[in-house]
Structure 1
Amino acid sequence: MKRISILAALLTVTIGVQAQMSIFEVGSKEDRADRLYYQFSYAGAINLYQAVLDEQPGNPRVQLRIAESYRKLNQPAQSAEWYSKVIDNDTLISDEDVLNYAEMLSGAGEYREAKKWFEEFEKRSAGKDSRAEHYLNSLNNLEVYFKDSAIYDIGPVNFNSEGADFSPMFYEDGLVFVTGRETAEVRLVQNVFNWDKEPFLDLFYVGPDSSGLFSAPRPWSEKINTQYHEGPLAFFENEERVVFTRNNYYKGRFKISSDKINKLQLYSAKRGVGETWEHIQPLPFNSNEYSVGHPTFMSDGTTMIFVSDMPGSLGGTDLWQTEWNGDDWSTPLNLGPQINTEGNEMFPFMHKDGILYFASDGQGGLGGLDLYTSELEDGKWETPKNMGYPVNTHHDDFGLIMEPNGVQGWFSSNRDSLEGDNIYRIAITRDPYLRIDGIVIDDVTEEPLANAMVTMRGTDGNEMTVETDDQARFSFNLNWDVMYRFNAELRLYDQMNAPLRKAEDTPEAREPLVIRMKNRCWVYDWELNNKDTGEPVLGANVTMYKKGSADSIVLESDNGTYILPLECETNYDLRIEKPGFFTQVIELTPGNIPEPEFEEIVVGKAIEVENIYYDLDKADIRADAAIELDKLVKLLVDNPQIVIELGSHTDSRGSDSYNLSLSQRRAESAVEYIIDQGIDADRISAKGYGETKLNNECANGVPCSDEQHQANRRTEFAVTDIRTE
């Protein structure tokens, strides 16, 4: 199969140092096959391993090596077939082998069997590797990947070759792309890559022809193309500069890592005269010990995202970013776990609209490398979204670029396995979403309502909230064929639901959405102060209940002043609570908002019950006194934790013994009334004080006015205990 293993050959490892053929001719067939395997000559290793099996049928170690070799060559069907022969061999198979088998099955489109082995890997990894979770989520929701398939038109370009063709990039009026095509025009002797016996990769350019197709491809730059791999590239500074991927080969020197591998590096070049490129320089964070490659630039022209397996990577290969200051590059930063996984993220492309396209085999998907999108919001990357079928298949799909208009582009895939990696044209024939615009207005005045919070909820579980702008407008992108509910909220207005709407391709579905909100009838600024100090009370729990309804509103304030939004012709109860204070429930009616007397609970403190009057020499509860005692009953109901003493006091006129007896009878009469209203008898006691606790100097024999004596005739209560249960 004439194709390059993109995943392995272009990032995780690259070129093994080639040994003399005599080395491979020493030892047994299995030893020679192993040497080829460890030198990344997988195509040759497979041939020798199969020769070993002719002599040793069923050798599990050799079968596993063949499975691994086919995996390295990115031939999932063949790899899965060989894994299946040894996967039950517990003494040989590792957890990573189980994952590899599951991935090969998925890459071959064998989803049911793949699910079984992803579940086995998840069990073995005990949830420590997210790849199993991602893949199982994908396999359990495969229908999601096919729901938008009608919006894409995809087809191969006219310049694909029998070799590998992939990773196009915009340049001038055409494309620069990576190719492994065999051509005598490139060099007299074209090197062959031991990995899979394919030619090394070069950069070619293709421009438009008069028919609207592409002209014949030609080598892009003799200065940049070498006898080794050149890979994906990106232009910046109005195409006056370029960063490109190449093997660690600079100024004629071929360098290797400590484990004898030639890694990939990034190089920059500056445009010279015409189409020449000069001043080729390695980037400062290149290393002999790890690979870097696959550059792309954000719209600012200075932030470059690239791929590397450098220390600090979360998986096999990660996406990183660096800044160009005009002279040098900053220390790379990892894009983080929202983008990167334990698998491989690669082939990024930043669209001018801020959309990051990239390929991953660690996010789940349909198998192999899948294409994803993400956007940077408030400095954080959004959860990547799989682009779905037919952009993604169970083969490798990667290297996507999109025109500035966002509706046409090109990407790479090996979906036609007989042709290897090819470049495909992609056109979006229908918007991937139905955009709906709307406005929020006052139901009566039809004035636009800015700063309203509008929430969209779909039957697919998608939910989003946006704020209306200064003209009260909002918009959402809706998934096709999903039913949506819209809800608007705004201070001083009733929450409002708009009619359900289905996202379908009809004029009615595209109509602007108008949400009309009903203004609450009136609003009251209400202060909650301490009765004794007059200071605002902070941290109280204030809840407003609509009479005859279970609806409630929790009011909040950071300064003790509350906004009460009240509907017309509606009564409310306002419940005020705070530890250490008497709980109060106040009735609110339009036009009648009593000021609360929020009082601290102090054990033993006497609190007067006003307007309690008795007939002369009587202890009976009069109707006017009952009204006031009912208020005390309500206080006890609202504060079930308190125990009180009700005390009755007289003035000094009359004998001391008479006054003491009269006050006791009156206190007992009041307590009896309160108990009759449903208050437990163990929560209230009666105490007659007679004239023993006068409020002024009007004792026996002291001449005083009626008003002064009246001040001493009173009924009080005091909290004697606060129960905790």
Structure 2
Amino acid sequence: MLRLKRNALLFFLIVMSNCYLAAQNVETPLDNAIRFYELQQYPKAIQAFNQLLKSGYATLSAKNKLSILLKLAYSYKQNKDEVNAERLYRQAFSTFPKLISDDAKAYVNFAQVLANNGKFQEAQEYLSLSENIQSTKNQTANMPQNISSPTSQKSVAIVSNTNNYKIEYLDINTSGPEFSPMYYKDGIVFCSEKESSTKLINDKGSLLDLYYLDDLKKVQQSDEPNSDKRKRKSTTKNSKALGDDYYSRQTSNDTKTLNYFSGEDETQRNQSANSESFSKALNSKFHEGPATFNHDFSKIIFTRNNSIGNKKGLSEDNISKLKLYISENINNNWKEALELPFNDNEYSTAHPAWSKNEKILYFASDRPGGFGGMDIWAISYNNGQWDVPKNLGKNINSKGSEVFPFVDENGNLYFSSNGQGGEGDLDIFFAEMNAGQSISKASNLGKPFNSPFDDFGIISDGNRQIGYFSSNRKLGEDDDIYRFSVEKAINDCREMTITVLDAKTKKVISNAVVVITSADNHLETKKTDANGNITFCTIQDTDYSFKIEKEGFIVKTIGYSTKGEIDTESSTLEVNLIKQEPVELQISTTKSSTSTKKSPNPANLKNKSMLTGFVKSEIDQKPMEGVLVSFINVCDNSIQQITTGADGSYTFYMNEDCDYTIEVSKNGYGKNVNKIKKVKKGNTKVISQDLSLFKEGDLITMNNIYYDSGSATLRKDAMRELNKLTITLQKTPTMVIELGSHTDSRGDAQVNLNLSTKRAQAAVDYIVSKGISRNRILAKGYGESELVNSCADGVSCTEIEHQQNRRTTVKIIKIK
């Protein structure tokens, strides 16, 4: 079986567009060369064109001479022979110094060849030449200005995949191409070539049809064989042609044929051996795929060669371009596919991706108004009517080609590009979207999704936990479908170091006993070394309790959780132990009489529970001196009070079976009130409770306040964080705040401002619903007006840098 040696992008854009050419009764050497070229048989095209240069070239017209030089140069380029490609392009431009119309696209191809040969300055000159020509035709507004060298390409924003992803080669792959999967009910629809056992298919190319697997559970991991052992597998076990059903009437598309026709009657053509009938309703003798579906899978939009009935349609340059078609499933029967109204005979419209709400269709096209080769476009769909296609702009598109879009359940966009740098040829990118507009610069997904080869056609759930994509990464030849999933590593060790210090002197404490208890009650005991440290492994998504003991110090127990942590970096935790010393207590009764007495030595209070902690400033978390700490016994209203020293620490003793209230206050900082639950009789313990105070003007950035792309609806994880803010407002009843929402600089500034205002108001409404007065909270949307770094419009930044600007802030306006 033919191995389709090509760039995955060009497999679709050239093979699909050009390989279905009718035979001529009399074929000239030039016709023969062009046929090989259009069928992407580049080695044979090179041989045929070179033969023409040796004999017969002088008798050709100037137009044909230019065509031969440019097609031969392009054939060398696609055959990875950049040296000869450069030589032929130079010969063409020397002979024909000024190209016009579609021939001017050769300047872009030549620039890519020069860049691959390390001649970046000259490559930029030819890109500028191409830009000037296209600008004259008003087709390239806002084109990018620079071509990237290998060094500058590394500056592309690449997502750091901190999750552990498992990549699986699947048993649905064959010796031919399988690619561009799409979810369909409980399975997937994907593209694969029509089967053929005849030798002629190898000379003429191969056609593509839509296949589907009705149950993803049937898909298994498989070891990829060596290239000489890859054989076409029968599709009868797990897959069948989409639309192949017993209740569909038979049509002329039911016969599987070769992709090269000599004009004889349909029933007389050779048929593929050992294969099932292809689609009776959707698959035809032309190329089909990729495809996309609406939310209930009752409609399909798919790619097909331009066709009129059973005949192909041609552009002015005699090429069958790609178009999008739609079909509806009524009573389990796919109806006749209809061409979408925004197609055109003169350019390709392909690779559809339909949003979940069916309001936006993304697709790839080389139509006028783009930035380079193929671009990603979007078109609105309302009340059964299609709007006008809109280019997604410079956040998504480049001077290269952007293809194979996919929109996830959150409305965010995936696509592949060969013009924005990354790991290799086609790389998979991701961008946040809002109503069909990008609100962020596309980010390269990095490894393991991308490789030095072609990676494209990804589908995924909204959290990128599991999905599928296409790649020719293993053999660099045919495309195969891979599955990715997040998995927990067998040795899921995240190293953690605990350092034990004297709270007052800040000196390390050696030989302190640390008892580590995990959620599954696993116990581990360690002693601190001479540097006051212990080191151990924590497990992802696990709660821990650390009990630290040292003779002469108050026992301290603290909690720690790795839930929500996705990085594998080591972490450190400092624990301060307080020495057991006499504590000066002020005892106040309900009759407001106050007496001061020396507390007994803690050695005599072994049966007393204890509350201990530090008071810190909320913003910089530094110990606060001069804070009045009141510890109120709810049983008898007696009060213990202490004013903190330089270390901000406090310690109180507790009676059994009594609840307590602790209040901390200082002029200019307001008050913080917390409840301490009673300690049951006979269950003596030490409770650690650190407290903090705000002051007017404090600005706090809240973590984990996230929204779905383009939405102002609060998610559950955001509600959890706002619940914490609600508790703070309840504890500090005199506090008045401003809740601000910020975006990064990507996307339209006014759109960002409006969206941030809606998000801030949604957060305020939620807090008010919890009983906080609306007079105490002001909603403020800042949009992109207050960036915390230099990532403004036109500045290249990483995704992490942009994320720093996407934040929710709380400003303390007033506090008593």
- TM category, shorter: 0.5 to 0.7
Determine if the alignment matches structure 1 residue 220 to structure 2 residue 278.
no
Determine if the alignment matches structure 1 residue 337 to structure 2 residue 343.
no
| Secondary structure, aligned partner of 2:174 | coil
Q: Please give the residue correspondences for 1:649-668 in structure 2 after superposition, counting only pairs within 5 Å.
A: none
Deviation readout 1:474-508 (Å, 9 max, x if unpaired): 99xxxxxxxxxxxxxx9999xxxxxxxxxxxxxxx
Deviation readout 1:520-548 (Å, 9 max, x if unpaired): xxxxxxxxxxxxxxxxxxxxxxxxxxxxx
Q: 2:13 — aligned with what?
A: 11
Q: 1:200 — aligned with what?
A: 207
Residue number among 405, 409, 431 corresponding to 1:348 in the alignment: 405
Structure 2 Cα separation of the partners of residues 350 and 286 of structure 1: 21
Deviation readout 1:596-649 (Å, 9 max, x if unpaired): xxxxxxxxxxxxxxxxxxxxxxxxxxxxxxxxxxxxxxxxxxxxxxxxxxxxxx
| Secondary structure, aligned partner of 2:94 | coil
Q: 2:3 — aligned with what?
A: 2
Change (3 A) 1:36 1:160: closer
Structure 1 Cα separation of the partners of residues 366 and 392 of structure 2: 13
Q: State whether residues 166 and 178 of structure 1, in contact with CA within 8 Å, keep that contact through their aligned partners in structure 2.
A: yes
Determine if the alignment matches structure 1 residue 371 to structure 2 residue 428.
yes
| Secondary structure, aligned partner of 1:261 | coil
| Secondary structure, aligned partner of 1:268 | strand
Q: 1:271 — aligned with what?
A: 329
Structure 2 Cα separation of the partners of residues 564 and 291 of structure 1: 56
Structure 2 Cα separation of the partners of residues 564 and 344 of structure 1: 49
Unaligned runs of 5+ in 2: 57-64, 98-103, 132-141, 222-236, 244-278, 489-563, 570-616, 620-668, 673-691, 704-711, 725-734, 739-810
CA drift at 1:140? 5.6
CA drift at 1:389? 2.2
CA drift at 1:469? 7.8
Q: Please give the residue correspondences for 1:403-418 in structure 2 after superposition, counting only pairs within 5 Å.
A: 403-417=461-475
Residue number among 83, 91, 95 corresponding to 2:94 in the alignment: 91
| Secondary structure, aligned partner of 1:228 | coil
Structure 2 Cα separation of the partners of residues 326 and 193 of structure 1: 46
Change (3 A) 1:103 1:251: same
Q: 2:377 — aligned with what?
A: 320
CA drift at 1:244? 0.9
Q: Which amino acid aligns with 1:154?
A: I
| Secondary structure, aligned partner of 1:278 | coil
Structure 1 Cα separation of the partners of residues 565 and 70 of structure 2: 43
| Secondary structure, aligned partner of 2:327 | strand
Structure 2 Cα separation of the partners of residues 564 and 265 of structure 1: 57
| Secondary structure, aligned partner of 1:340 | coil
Q: Which amino acid aligns with 2:424?
A: G
Q: State whether residues 306 and 320 of structure 2, in contact with CA within 8 Å, keep that contact through their aligned partners in structure 1.
A: yes
Q: Which amino acid aligns with 2:392?
A: L
Structure 2 Cα separation of the partners of residues 207 and 253 of structure 1: 31
Q: Please give the residue correspondences for 1:602-681 in structure 2 after superposition, counting only pairs within 5 Å.
A: none
Q: Please give the residue correspondences for 1:116-265 in structure 2 after superposition, counting only pairs within 5 Å.
A: 116-125=118-127, 133=146, 135-136=148-149, 139=152, 141=154, 148=161, 151-183=164-196, 192=201, 197-208=204-215, 213=220, 216-221=238-243, 222=279, 223-265=281-323
Change (3 A) 1:454 1:141: farther
Q: State whether residues 115 and 139 of structure 1, in contact with CA within 8 Å, keep that contact through their aligned partners in structure 2.
A: no
| Secondary structure, aligned partner of 1:262 | coil
Change (3 A) 1:96 1:226: closer
| Secondary structure, aligned partner of 1:411 | strand
CA drift at 1:100? 4.0
CA drift at 1:289? 1.6
CA drift at 1:308? 1.6
Structure 1 Cα separation of the partners of residues 447 and 39 of structure 2: 37
Change (3 A) 1:282 1:492: closer
Identity %: 28
CA drift at 1:352? 0.7
CA drift at 1:119? 4.1
Q: State whether residues 67 and 82 of structure 1, in contact with CA within 8 Å, keep that contact through their aligned partners in structure 2.
A: yes
CA drift at 1:334? 1.9
Q: State whether residues 36 and 42 of structure 2, in contact with CA within 8 Å, keep that contact through their aligned partners in structure 1.
A: yes
Change (3 A) 1:380 1:278: same
| Secondary structure, aligned partner of 1:267 | strand
Q: 1:69 — aligned with what?
A: 75
Deviation readout 1:146-205 (Å, 9 max, x if unpaired): 964873322321111111111000112111100115257xxxx999598xx321100011
| Secondary structure, aligned partner of 2:403 | strand
Q: Which amino acid aligns with 2:450?
A: N
Change (3 A) 1:209 1:117: same
Q: Please give the residue correspondences for 1:519-530 in structure 2 after superposition, counting only pairs within 5 Å.
A: none
Change (3 A) 1:176 1:126: closer
Structure 1 Cα separation of the partners of residues 34 and 75 of structure 2: 11
Q: 1:47 — aligned with what?
A: 47
| Secondary structure, aligned partner of 1:82 | helix
| Secondary structure, aligned partner of 2:148 | helix
Structure 2 Cα separation of the partners of residues 200 and 209 of structure 1: 25
CA drift at 1:318? 1.6
Change (3 A) 1:198 1:164: farther
Change (3 A) 1:267 1:138: farther
Structure 2 Cα separation of the partners of residues 55 and 450 of structure 1: 88
Q: State whether residues 66 and 79 of structure 1, in contact with CA within 8 Å, keep that contact through their aligned partners in structure 2.
A: no
Change (3 A) 1:567 1:349: closer
Determine if the alignment matches structure 1 residue 299 to structure 2 residue 356.
yes
Structure 2 Cα separation of the partners of residues 101 and 132 of structure 1: 17
Residues matched between the structures, number: 453
Deviation readout 1:231-285 (Å, 9 max, x if unpaired): 11111040011111111124223211121111111111111333x3114211111
Q: 1:427 — aligned with what?
A: 485
Structure 1 Cα separation of the partners of residues 22 and 40 of structure 2: 11
Q: 2:729 — aligned with what?
A: none
Q: State whether residues 168 and 411 of structure 1, in contact with CA within 8 Å, keep that contact through their aligned partners in structure 2.
A: yes
Change (3 A) 1:241 1:114: same
| Secondary structure, aligned partner of 1:69 | helix
| Secondary structure, aligned partner of 2:367 | coil
Q: Please give the residue correspondences for 1:511-590 in structure 2 after superposition, counting only pairs within 5 Å.
A: none
Structure 2 Cα separation of the partners of residues 433 and 130 of structure 1: 38
| Secondary structure, aligned partner of 1:277 | coil
Q: State whether residues 244 and 266 of structure 1, in contact with CA within 8 Å, keep that contact through their aligned partners in structure 2.
A: yes
Residue number among 346, 351, 356 corresponding to 1:289 in the alignment: 346
Q: State whether residues 191 and 228 of structure 1, in contact with CA within 8 Å, keep that contact through their aligned partners in structure 2.
A: no
Deviation readout 1:526-584 (Å, 9 max, x if unpaired): xxxxxxxxxxxxxxxxxxxxxxxxxxxxxxxxxxxxx999999xxxxxxxxxxxxxxxx
| Secondary structure, aligned partner of 1:91 | helix
Q: State whether residues 73 and 88 of structure 2, in contact with CA within 8 Å, keep that contact through their aligned partners in structure 1.
A: no
Change (3 A) 1:35 1:102: same
User: Which stretch of the first structure deviates more once superposed, 240-249 or 400-409?
Assistant: 400-409
Query: Over aligned residue pairs, what C-alpha RMSD do you find?
Result: 4.9
Structure 2 Cα separation of the partners of residues 449 and 148 of structure 1: 39
User: Which stretch of the first structure deviates more once superposed, 341-350 or 130-139?
Assistant: 130-139
Q: State whether residues 349 and 401 of structure 1, in contact with CA within 8 Å, keep that contact through their aligned partners in structure 2.
A: yes
Q: Which amino acid aligns with 2:342?
A: F
Q: Which amino acid aligns with 1:175?
A: I
Q: 1:395 — aligned with what?
A: 453
Structure whose alpha-carbon radius of gyration is higher: 1
User: Which stretch of the first structure deviates more once superposed, 370-379 or 243-252?
Assistant: 370-379
